[in-house]
Amino acid sequence: QKEVEQNSGPLSVPEGAIASLNCTYSDRGSQSFFWYRQYSGKSPELIMFIYSNGDKEDGRFTAQLNKASQYVSLLIRDSQPSDSATYLCAVKDSSGSARQLTFGSGTQLTVLP
Amino acid sequence: EAGVAQSPRYKIIEKRQSVAFWCNPISGHATLYWYQQILGQGPKLLIQFQNNGVVDDSQLPKDRFSAERLKGVDSTLKIQPAKLEDSAVYLCASSGTSGGRETQYFGPGTRLLVL
């Protein structure tokens, strides 16, 4: 069974610091990786996706992918209290045309003012 | 572009009752998903449609859950009879292409409480 593992947290960082969120996955053939942000009581919102090894930057967010280690991370620079949310890592199934996402359980991030 | 619409937003029922949820995907999105998200967990896929056909329903508890997408647009998810453990948020998502890649977008969800 395909698994996506995240530290559940909570992770607390001071405002302005770098928040580092980590995710490992079991399916070596996975091709696409997504980070969703979910505020309490809200639905998941896509913030980043990455397909190639290395780093991908978008504003204050950087996604890092290492397929050999089956590891994907999300860095949030200059963290703001508004970044406080649960961050879900999702991995797209590599098999056939199903195009399904398998989600981790999420890491709860709190940015302290 | 309008997002994924879901209704109702909240529902409280007693165990053994039935309930139905409705979803309208983003216009033009052929693929529609229903997820169950239990508090403190990530979303778990229940069923995936491509147009009006089922692609995967392997994690759908078929003894009590059913879903349909008759005209390839709107979809309904039904639970009959409901159990206490069905208390969760039911998320509908549809997928389209962004930046050359397929991306899922979620609706606001229906929060179900079974008493």
Mutation pick from A101, A102, A108 vs chain B, by most beta carbons of B within 10 Å, is A101
Give the mean model confidence (pLDDT) for residues A17-21. Answer: 96
- pLDDT single digits (tens) A33-51: 999 999 999 999 999 999 8
Indicate if the pLDDT at residue A1 is higher than 70.
Answer: no
Indicate if the pLDDT at residue B99 is higher than 70.
Answer: no
| Nearest CB to B102 within list A44, A99, A106 | A99
Pairing of strands A32-38, A45-50: antiparallel
Of residues B11 and A28, more confidence is placed in B11
Give the mean model confidence (pLDDT) for residues B30-41. Answer: 94
| Nearest CB to A46 within list B40, B103, B107 | B103
pLDDT in the model for residue A92: 87
Indicate if the pLDDT at residue A97 is higher than 60.
Answer: no
Q: What is the mean pLDDT of chain A?
A: 91
Report residue A99: phi and psi, to 5°.
Answer: 55, 45
Give the distance, in angstroms, between the CA of residue B79 and the centroid of all CA atoms in the same chain: 11
Indicate if the pLDDT at residue B67 is higher than 60.
Answer: yes
Q: What is the spatial distance between Cα A108 and Cα A94, in angstroms, rounded to a whole number? A: 27
Q: What size, in residues, is chain B?
A: 115
**Where residue B48 falls among pLDDT bands split at 50, 70, 90?**
very high
Q: What is the spatial distance between Cα A30 and Cα B5, in angstroms, rounded to a whole number? A: 30
Q: Do B91 and A44 touch (CB under 8 A)?
A: yes
pLDDT in the model for residue A94: 65
pLDDT in the model for residue B114: 97
pLDDT in the model for residue A66: 94
- What's the token pair of residue A75? 């860095």
Residues of chain A with Cβ-Cβ distance to B33 below 8 Å are 100
Could you tell me if A9 lies within 8 Å of chain B, comparing CB atoms?
no
Q: What is the spatial distance between Cα A76 and Cα A19, in angstroms, rounded to a whole number? A: 5
Cβ–Cβ under 8 Å, residues A42 and A12:
no
Percentage of the residues of chain A whose pLDDT score is greater than 90: 74
Nearest-CA residue of chain B relative to A89?
A: B42
